[in-house]
A and B are shown apart, each in its own frame.
Chain A
Amino acid sequence: MTQKPRQKPKMTRKSKRLVLIAGGLAFVGLAVALVMTAFEDSVVFFFSPSELAAKPTDPDRRIRIGGLVEDGSVSTGPGEGEVRFRVTDGGATLPVVYVGILPDLFREGQGVVAQGSLVGEIFKADEVLAKHDETYMPPEVAKALKEQGHWQEGAEGATKKVPGS
């Protein structure tokens, strides 16, 4: 065999493989995108109070809700070990009642995700998780920002995920 006839089919095989791989990848990507769109609701980890208000669910279904713990809304009682607080996303607000241990990051103005079910107008949670935002800074910096009035409480962490986004 001479060089030339060997060289030519080798090139086409190479580009054939290239097209095959690119086509295969595009196909897989498309399939995954379709699946993810179809299962949108199950991929979503929690609903915001506004989403919940817009799309009422069965009262007994266990769901997760998330948002910011409204400032000044945390109180204990009246029941044994009960904690009550309101979760807000800037639009709607949902009162939550919970019995159990709160995570260390749970505080007013910070993100929270609660699992439970809607009983009447109140969300009865059996699990409360704190959501952290993407801001990292030393306490002194946070204090200085607050003093200078540059502070936006939980500005982008949890409120960003309001419906429509």
Chain B
Amino acid sequence: MGPRLPLMLKDAGLTAFVAAALGIFIVGFRTVDTGGGKGLSFDYHLVDLAVAVVVIFIGRLGLSMAANGQRWPAIVLGGAMIAAGASPMKLPSGFLHWFVALGGVLLVIRAIWPWASDAMSAAARTPSGLALGKARSRWFGWLLLGAAVLMPFTPIADQKTMDLGVLILTYVMLGWGLNIVVGLAGLLDLGYVAFYAVGAYAYALLSTQYGLGFWTVLPLAGMMAALFGIVLGFPVLRLRGDYLAIVTLGFGEIIRLVLLNWFDLTNGPAGIGSIPGPTLFGAVFAETPPAGKQTVSEMLGIAFDGNHRLIFLYYIILGLALVTNLFTQRMRRLPVGRAWEALREDETACQALGINPTNTKLTAFAIGAMFAGFAGSFFAAKQRFISPESFVFIESAIILAIVVLGGMGSQIGVVLAAVLLIGLPEWFRDLGNYRMLAFGLAMVLIMVFRPRGLISHREPSIRLHPAGSGGSG
């Protein structure tokens, strides 16, 4: 291992020391109510902390080995960590098992990464690899779409899966909508959930107060959200990127606080209930029809099944998401779409070319808001109950994380990221508590190691030479 080992040990030791300093109070001394009185006492977790610090020491050592090309020792360390995490040996908490094992997995991946990426890029350069890559980019989207369309008819489509499917698709749609604003136009919007809330409350109020149906309100809700986008965006879109982010965050919070406190309109924190679900040609999804209405099972002459409603909702959100996607794809190839991307790249140059930056940003902002409005009314119709609690900042952050992780501007990337960020935590319930922690860390790691996201390929909006010909160099 040579003379570098002492240096690496020292570095790992320092890292472990910092980790210990970070964790000693927050992790080591868990404060608990003594009960009765108002005092606190400690529940000590110093052993957990010690284990974590040792793991961090080993992990850091392994990482520096991998960075120095000492692959095998790193793989051995990583393997040992996985083994320790997976072993029945009793660590102080279940989380530590995961922590150790996942750390090991990451270390092994890091160690074989240079090999793997070399091998992959070599394989991609061979003729069959090129063909495969092209086929993949062309067919992968269609395959996903096919799977999404057929999913309700597969045996895995029980209620839980369908619920999850609806949830994931809602986030896919929101991600695609936000992608217009963040990915294409480069405007960091931290208050996106506000427009989602506008759409949801628009449907909830119009349906419960005025008896309007879902399909009537849907376009109205979209328009209202877009209008909000224009009204909010007009004064602030001139601001620099990071200021804009904070102002949108502020707007998001203002809207939430107004929803929370404007009792007469929104019923405050208690929210709005018994919101009607969407209808199919006027027929409702219910076992017994309300007065003057027909149920879907009567209309179609089939037996009532509670799952029908879910399947219907699934296809609505699938349809809405696809509309979002197609619309975006098309806008990207229009002058306004190119101007969005140009603004993201360099606003000053845009201005010099005679492009009105404010108007161009405003269209992106309003269109993004419109899709959030659609998604919002769908959400209200699906949940049948909404309250300000559903529209907190963390929702905006989750949608943003999906866009960032997917690769800003990439449509397929958003799908993958939504499945990863929304689907996985639902499958691994026992890790659910750690979901937001993982979100936050993932955002940092993505920015540090892969700022262009999972899918970093950008397809030009227009080509002079056909794709793949010599001209594209």
Do A and B pair up? The answer is no
